[in-house]
Amino acid sequence: MAKALIGHLSSDLRDPRIAADNSRLRARVAELEALVLRLSEENDRLVSARAEELLVSAPLQEMQPA
């Protein structure tokens, strides 16, 4: 797999433009991963708060036989 990835890149790995582009892309990926984590945590917090709100505002009613 590594050979395939390296073969996919330019054969001159010393090209500063490629190194800068790779660095920029890695930083962007890290930024997006952090954003996904933050949004996931916020979503979990909102779901939990909403579930608690529903339980408090509308207690479960017992089913009546028909």
Domain ranges for the chain: 17-55
Closest by alpha carbon to 10, among 23, 22, 28?
22
Tokens of 34: 């952090």
Q: Are 18 and 27 in contact (CB under 8 A)?
A: no
Rounded Cα distance between 37 and 2, Å, is 28
Dump pLDDT digits (tens) for 4-53.
Answer: 656 665 555 678 888 899 999 999 999 999 999 999 999 999 999 999 88
* Three-state secondary structure call for residue 15: coil
Is the model's pTM score more than 0.85?
Answer: no
